[in-house]
């Protein structure tokens, strides 16, 4: 079984994000970039499936600038077999990414696609669902457990008040949640080996996909800072403030 994993290059989660002075977007100049944390979980799960014998090959895909090759090399250092970069300098929105991944899925014919549930830069949480719809595949989102049993994927996902277990006929798509696994660290020998593994580069034109953005960001601003707390002498004063000032009771 071939597993296709989508990964995205984002601002490192340890970096404080800054908005550009003109409010047009996030400032990424001289900022440390890394693989989206949810995509790391997706890569780890695919590699574990290969190690258990449930998968035969793990292919990682990223869409964006040439700098995304670094993210793909990291994924291969974690255990992926090969990588594909869809190179474009255009702004990519979820629908465009889903169409690109759909074209690659038609080309690669994987039995399972794993993606992170969302990227930490835009928090859209749309690409996986859109891709499943375009492919007309069954999908399980926010997976906290994944087991392959023959031609079926058994997925547990967290819902309000408990767990929901789904059985999906392969081919299928799964998006990962935080509790699915703990990603491993890439070792130096594997990082060196990853430099020699195959990395193919294609363009949206070659895939026959129009990636022109359909949405426009009108403005972006940092959230307002939190005000200082207020000490009250007793419960009666607290209740009065909640009733008169905050108007929450």
Half-sphere exposure (Cβ direction) of 51: Cα atoms closer than 13 Å: 9
The residue that leads in pLDDT, 238 or 224, is 238
Backbone angles phi, psi at 164, to 5 degrees: -115, 130
Alpha-carbon gap, residue 72 to 8, rounded angstroms: 9
Specify the pLDDT at position 119: 92
Cβ–Cβ < 8 Å for 25, 11: no
DSSP bridge pairs for 35: 9
- In degrees and rounded to multiples of 5, residue 38 shows phi and psi of -70, -30
- Mean pLDDT rounded to a whole number for the chain: 91
Q: Give yes or no for residue 227 having a pLDDT over 80.
A: no
Task: Give long-range contacts, CB 8 A cutoff, 24+ apart: 165-171.
Answer: 166/140, 168/138, 168/139, 168/140, 169/138, 170/1, 170/111, 170/112, 171/110, 171/111, 171/112, 171/113, 171/135, 171/137
The per-residue pLDDT for range 43-98, each reduced to its tens digit, is 999 999 999 999 999 999 999 999 999 999 999 999 999 999 999 998 899 999 99
Query: pTM for the whole thing?
Result: 0.85
Q: Which residue has the higher pLDDT, 27 or 173?
A: 173
pLDDT tens for 129-163 read: 999 999 999 999 999 999 999 899 999 998 888 88
- The yes/no answer on whether domain 2-246 falls in CATH 3.10.20.30 is no
pLDDT at residue number 249: 81
**Tokens 């998006």 belong to which residue?**
175
Rounded mean pLDDT, 87-114? 94
Cβ-based neighbours of 186, under 8 Å, separated by 6 or more:
74, 77, 78, 194
Residue 116 predicted with pLDDT over 90: yes
Where residue 23 falls among pLDDT bands split at 50, 70, 90?
A: confident
């Amino acid at each position: 079984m071939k597993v296709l994993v989508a990964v995205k290059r984002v601002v490192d989660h340890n970096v404080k994000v800054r908005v550009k002075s003109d409010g047009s977007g996030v400032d990424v100049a001289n900022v440390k970039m890394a693989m989206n944390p949810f995509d790391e979980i997706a890569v780890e799960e695919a590699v574990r499936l290969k190690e258990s014998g449930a998968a035969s090959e793990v292919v990682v895909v990223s869409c964006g600038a040439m700098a995304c090759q670094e993210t793909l090399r990291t994924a291969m250092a974690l255990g992926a077999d090969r990588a594909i970069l869809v190179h474009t300098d255009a702004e990519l929105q979820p629908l465009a990414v889903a169409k690109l991944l759909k074209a690659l899925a038609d080309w690669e014919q994987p039995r399972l696609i794993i993606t992170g549930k969302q990227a930490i830069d835009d928090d859209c949480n749309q690409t996986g669902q859109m891709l499943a719809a375009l492919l007309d595949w069954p999908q399980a989102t926010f997976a906290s457990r994944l087991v392959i049993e023959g031609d079926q994927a058994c997925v547990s996902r967290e819902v309000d008040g408990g767990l929901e277990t789904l059985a999906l006929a392969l081919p299928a798509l799964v998006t990962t949640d935080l509790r699915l696994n703990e990603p491993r660290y890439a070792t130096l020998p594997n990082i060196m080996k990853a430099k020699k593994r195959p990395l193919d580069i294609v363009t949206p034109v070659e895939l026959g996909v129009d990636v022109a953005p359909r949405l426009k960001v009108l403005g972006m601003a940092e959230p307002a800072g939190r005000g200082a707390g207020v000490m009250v002498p007793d419960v009666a004063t607290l209740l009065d403030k909640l009733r008169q000032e905050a108007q929450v009771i």
